[in-house]
Amino acid sequence: MTVSRRTLLAAAAKLAWLPLGGRLLSAAQRMLRAPSLHDVTVDGATVVWGTDQRGVARLTVSRRADLQQAVVATATTREYGSMETRLGTALFQHEVRMTGLQPGTEYFYRASVDGADVSAIWSFRTAPRTGPFRFLVFGDSGTGLNDQRNVAAQMRAERDLALAIHVGDVVYPTPTFQRYLDYHFGVYADLMAKIPFYPCLGNHDVLDDHGAAYLALHTLPPDEGVPQAMRGHYYSFDWGDVHFVALDTNEILHEANLAPMIEWADRDLTMTRKAWKIAFWHHAPYDSLRGEHREQTAVRERLAPLMDKHGVHLVLVGHHHCYQRTHPLIGGKRVEAGRGTVYVTSGGGGAGLYPIPPNDFNAAGVSDHHHCTVDVTRGQLRVRAVRHNGQEMDAAVIAPLPALAENGIVNGATFEAGVAAGGVMSVFGRNLAFETLGFSTLPLPTELAGVRVFAGERALPLLFVSPGQINALLPLDRTGDTRVRVVTPNGAAEMSVNVLETAPAIFRYNGHAAITRSDGSQVTPSNPVFPGETLTAYLTGLGRVHQPVQIGAAAPFSPAAEAMARVSVVLDGSPITPSFAGLSPGSAGLYQVNFRAPYELGSGTFGLRIRAGGGQSSPVPLPIS
């Protein structure tokens, strides 16, 4: 496919640059940093490179390896003066944000300054919306020593990498521009040209100037909701089915900055609907290397409960210069495989090694230079630690078990308690599925994304599965105490629920009750009904019907399947007898009630409930004009 200039590129350079010199300077231009990828999303990516003199920087981008049919974007250039960089020269940092890209798609690019190519033709892939991928993990790296370069060589030998996580201490011993350029962007330049690196701040990264060089040189994902002073310190992003959260544990001892970060992370982890939650920061909460020093204790006390609360599957940390992998933990206690959070310390990227004294948390520990890879598959994370000589030194699988929320089985229309035979049931919990998938044909499938739900021994027709919620149809012929069991490839979770004869609940659609007027349009405050008009309410929970039907198949038209329970519509306290109440013809698991709006009420908004047998729905407003 082709890419248009308009969709591919963000705004070109807006900064004024002095035309003076322009091309003439090109011969003297020196590259300070080669192009690197940042903040790659499903539809965008940023490339950053740097020179020592002002110049017109451009990025040529194409879907083709030969850069034909390319789009050329002019970079936004930001100058860091030599006083600031202490490089003996200014740094002109050029940045192009590409937008309007396709997910999981390969793009080719080359950077230029003043018309001269300053990079090879590199390619990268945008983030996929879903599906498996592999990423790198390493940390405590930037010494410039052979230990760092040996690990880098093994990282370079990995295949099919999507991105890299750096768990902090990007450079040693102090965070100067020079060291970032030499010991980080220089060492990993060929990897950074192909995959984005996502770092977090280590204690060495904030030793001077509150991380000014780190923050200047990294273009991180937008950090909405982060206080201005803390921009770049914490952020989150999605890749495939994973939600990644980066935190700054240097702030762990400063309550004024810590509390907003914890609030932000709590909100961020609450919002995500991704199957996987992976957090990373610098200080390891669980190990005993330096005893109970203050950061470690504080990280454990303040961040571990947040991981427990949100069911974060994997936490990646550094600071201790070794490899450690904990057992799965909740509240600092070891739990069975498939529950809790696994903490992996990967602090062996190049700095001097620390020993690992025995502790109760660890399932594995090796003090050697290494990197890790994590393979994200449907239902599993596979962690691998690779020694600087290429030898695998640990491998582990994280396969989360499904877990149902307390009182997590509710009706699928309003998510209130009370489910009925033949009704739509929503099951809430964790690790219920590893992708989000709805049914596509009738009759409904009894397996979606590898997930099945049973009532007793009966496999239930499924409408929708996702990590946190499943919608399924209960059998028509079964009431009373029922074991509901969710089965995923990793295991099963079950809970008892009392299935009622009837439990009417009106669906909502676009924020309003699912009631349509005679022309099929939805009733809303701005589309009220006329007195005498025939209306249809869509709901669940009317229970059994007069004729045999196959649950999960399209309900019959002629004759339509009428509810056995006595159904009435109660409007402003007065009952109305419906003209029809039963399964909605042509659909699966949906009931409808047809009734006429009365003449005698006049205009206004009136409470409407539907009663069926011994149950009644919560009221919804019905506007009458």
Size of the site for Fe ion (CB under 5 A): 5
Judged by beta carbon, residue 247 or residue 545, the one nearer Fe ion is 247
Stretch that binds Fe ion, among 3-11, 137-145, 251-259, 575-583 (CB under 5 A): 137-145
Placement of tokens 């994590």 in the chain:
374
Structure tokens at 346: 């990967």
Judged by beta carbon, residue 224 or residue 292, the one nearer Fe ion is 292
Q: Smallest distance, Å, CB 204 to Fe ion?
A: 6
Three-class SS of 453-470: EEECCEECCEEEECCCEE
Structure tokens at 459: 């496999």
Judged by beta carbon, residue 193 or residue 289, the one nearer Fe ion is 289
Q: Smallest distance, Å, CB 368 to Fe ion?
A: 15
Judged by beta carbon, residue 110 or residue 233, the one nearer Fe ion is 233
Judged by beta carbon, residue 38 or residue 166, the one nearer Fe ion is 166
Residue type, 250: N
Judged by beta carbon, residue 251 or residue 435, the one nearer Fe ion is 251
Residues 305 to 334 in contact with Fe ion, rule: CB under 5 A: 319
How far apart (Å, rounded) are the C-alpha atoms in residues 26 and 152?
32
Stretch that binds Fe ion, among 85-93, 134-142, 231-239, 608-616 (CB under 5 A): 134-142
Stretch that binds Fe ion, among 143-151, 197-205, 454-462, 535-543 (CB under 5 A): 197-205
Q: Smallest distance, Å, CB 333 to Fe ion?
A: 26
Q: Is 241 in the site for Fe ion (CB under 5 A)?
A: no
Q: Smallest distance, Å, CB 91 to Fe ion?
A: 25
Q: Is 202 in the site for Fe ion (CB under 5 A)?
A: yes
Q: Is 203 in the site for Fe ion (CB under 5 A)?
A: yes
Q: Is 95 in the site for Fe ion (CB under 5 A)?
A: no
Judged by beta carbon, residue 168 or residue 328, the one nearer Fe ion is 168
Q: Is 140 in the site for Fe ion (CB under 5 A)?
A: yes
CB 219 within 8 A of CB 235: no
How far apart (Å, rounded) are the C-alpha atoms in residues 165 and 246?
9
Judged by beta carbon, residue 291 or residue 548, the one nearer Fe ion is 291
Instruction: Name 338's Cβ contacts closer than 8 Å, sequence gap at least 6.
Output: 328, 399, 400, 401, 490, 491
What phi, psi does 325 have (nearest 5°)? -130, 125
Binding-residue pattern over the window 157 to 186 for Fe ion, x denoting contact by CB under 5 A = ------------x-----------------
Judged by beta carbon, residue 53 or residue 346, the one nearer Fe ion is 346
Q: Smallest distance, Å, CB 270 to Fe ion?
A: 29
Structure tokens at 118: 């300053």
Residues 274 to 303 in contact with Fe ion, rule: CB under 5 A: none
Give per-residue burial for 249-269: e unless 16+ CB within 10 Å, then b: bbbbeeeebbebbbebbeebb
Q: How many CA atoms lie within 13 A of 51 on its CB side?
A: 25
The CA dihedral of 543, 547, 550, 555, to the nearest 10 degrees, is -80
CA distances from 467 to 266, 427, 547, 565, 601 (A): 18, 11, 36, 35, 46
Structure tokens at 42: 């499903």
Judged by beta carbon, residue 97 or residue 319, the one nearer Fe ion is 319
Judged by beta carbon, residue 267 or residue 290, the one nearer Fe ion is 290
Q: Is 147 in the site for Fe ion (CB under 5 A)?
A: no
Q: 312: closest CA among 287, 352, 290, 285?
A: 285
Stretch that binds Fe ion, among 203-211, 286-294, 375-383, 458-466 (CB under 5 A): 203-211
Q: Is 114 in the site for Fe ion (CB under 5 A)?
A: no
What is the total residue count of the chain? 625
How far apart (Å, rounded) are the C-alpha atoms in residues 92 and 55?
8
Q: Smallest distance, Å, CB 171 to Fe ion?
A: 10
Q: Is 35 in the site for Fe ion (CB under 5 A)?
A: no
Helix-strand-coil split of the chain, %, nearest 5: 15, 40, 45
Q: Smallest distance, Å, CB 174 to Fe ion?
A: 13
Q: Is 618 in the site for Fe ion (CB under 5 A)?
A: no
Task: Point out which residues bind Fe ion (CB under 5 A).
Answer: 140, 169, 202-203, 319
